[in-house]
Amino acid sequence: MDRAAGFDVPSFTADGGGDMMANGHLSDVLPGLNGGDGPDIMKQLGAYRPTGPWFVPEFYPGWLDHWGEPHAHVEAGGLVRETEWKLTHEVSFCYYMIYGGTSFGFMSGANYGGHFQPQPTSYDYDSPMDEMGRPTSKFFALRDVLAKHLAPGEVLPEVPPTTQVIEIPRIEFTESARIFDNLATPVKSEKPLSFEDLDQGYGYVLYRTTIAGPVDATLKIKELRDYAVVCVDGERLAALDRRHNQNSAELKIAGPSATLDILVENGGRINYGSRLTDNRKGITESVLLGERKLTGWEMYKLPFDDVSSLKFNSTPASAAPAVHRGTFSLPRVGDAFLDMRGWGKGIVFVNRHNLGRYWYIGPQQTLYLPGVWLKQGRNEIVVFEQLKDDVQSVAGIKTPILDQLNKDENARSRGPIKEPRLESASLVKEGSLAGSRAAQDIVFPAKTARYLCLQALSSQNGDEFTTLAELDALDAAGQTISHQGWKIIYVDSEENIAEGDQAENVIDGDPDSFWHTLWSAPHTSHPHTLVIDLGAEHELSGARLLPRQDSPHGRIKDYRLYLSLTPF
């Protein structure tokens, strides 16, 4: 298509190594190796173009962040050495990113690394130029390397000055209103409609229906995308986060009826990998109350593409979810960073410009405010806050805060963790699994148990890690039993720093998520141990293990399986 359209310039493919390059390479196009380092560049590219040229389209001086995960950091020393090596060995490359910037408004996306991973507003990326475009020490270190490889007589220009930074005094909010007071005409439907069905790309949708009472049952949202605040008669009941596979809350209604409101946020569309085509937002299937499917929905579109028509009251701050408005005056303008510490979750507008999302969990705690969006004299700020009631002010600071994680109130809690004492009497099977991505059954004579312990003794490829996508228990008839009531009560190691590959992923019913033992920090080697409380006694005749599907790393080879009626 490109050639037919008249593009006759050199083309290249940009792929990671291994299977990605094998499946992405085109015979008549220059292959590029994203993330390639050192001699491996020649090894990987040489399989398709033995004499080069060698090209790394994406050379990473930093990396992206996810909400609830540590701020990415790439050491300058190794980056400088690798840059020097590439230049010395005539490897062409592009830095990704030399300047990260900001995903203003709702433009921050998401990844899917076994679970939904939304990205924050800041795309600082730990790049050589920071979020507002200022050169960092990493920039100057790379500049020194490049200066040694200039053509004769060539010199680097001086680094230009950067935008002035100002500190905005604390801003008080004098007006506010609940989001329920800012609803337009609803779209009505018997079933809940997705954002796409409503012809809305971004922002929020409020789903409303009436429930007949009295009732005491579990409210379950099937395929929630991506974050929901649940209210009953205007009072917040729960917040549900797709990152943690949360989709249900206990609902008790004593009276004859109640209004159920579910405020759903599009947290960012997945922009890489196999889930690219699975990106519908909102309530994408149904809502159940007990076993009954709720119907008769009114859906209020809240795209937040214009805040000029919002209605406010000059009263004390309204309870969340609510909008708040204030004004502030500036003698001069410049770039600033709004300090959102103390707030919950939401978005900020200054002079009707959407600065993006904030979320107390971090790592991002500030929002970049470009000076070109400010005015000498009076300025307006509007904040939509989803979770907190007692927020009253915000201030502008000169330095961004991008590396502060706070306790995530929605995160799983296992309670006290006790290392198991594994006795030989509890051992029901030991052996070796095949080196396959297919599910494999471990079978044994039927035994009644409540607690199951899997111990991985080695991996198929000899590495020191353990990975596992799903673990099912088989009843006496060889059928899988429900995971209802299951809990992880012990795991010796899990990757919960750089990625969210916790042990709970083996019982979440999602074959694309997986447990991965810790790899991003000092970690232990085999054996790796996982203990599950099945919630009740069952007669078991086997366990079914589904290996990690996207990679052979850490797939279990030798194992032991233990069962017990009481905690190990």
Token reading at 7: 């593009």
Phi, psi of 79 (to 5 degrees): -65, -40
Under 8 Å between Cβ of 205 and 198: yes
pLDDT at 414 > cutoff 70:
no
Average pLDDT for 353-377: 98
CB neighbour list of residue 134: distance below 8 Å, 6 or more residues apart: 162
Mean pLDDT, the chain, rounded, equals 95
Q: How does pLDDT run across 42-79, given as a tens digit for each residue?
A: 999 999 999 999 999 999 999 999 999 999 999 999 99
Q: What is the mean pLDDT of residues 139-160?
A: 96
pLDDT value for 390: 87
- DSSP type of residue 115: S
- Nearest 5°: the CA angle 217, 288, 360 is 85
Structure confidence by residue, pLDDT tens digits, 234-292: 999 999 999 988 999 999 999 999 999 999 999 999 999 888 999 999 999 999 999 99
**Residue 113 has what pLDDT?**
80
pLDDT digit string (tens) for 539-548? Answer: 999 999 999 9
pLDDT at residue number 412: 75
What domains, with CATH codes, occur in the chain? 12-147 (3.20.20.80), 183-302 (2.60.120.260), 313-397 (2.60.120.260), 424-564 (no CATH)
Q: Is the pLDDT score of 319 beyond 70?
A: yes
pLDDT at site 415: 67
Q: What is this structure's pTM? A: 0.85
> Quick one: average pLDDT of 144-169?
95
Mean pLDDT over 377-386 rounds to: 98
Q: How confident is the model at residue 417 (pLDDT cuts 50, 70, 90)?
A: confident
Is residue 413 over pLDDT 80? no
Give CA–CA dist 216/286, Å, rounded. Answer: 19
- The pLDDT, as a whole number, for residue 496 is 77
Reply yes or no on whether the pLDDT at 369 is more than 90: yes
Q: How confident is the model at residue 337 (pLDDT cuts 50, 70, 90)?
A: very high
Q: For residue 497, is pLDDT > 90? A: no
pLDDT digit string, tens, across residues 505-527: 999 888 988 999 998 888 899 99
Q: Among residues 144, 98, 100, 142, which one has the least CA distance to residue 122?
A: 100
In sequence order, what DSSP letters do the residues of 211-268 get, joined into one string? Answer: EESSEEEEEEEEEEESEEEEEETTEEEEEEEGGGT--EEEEEE-SSEEEEEEEEE---
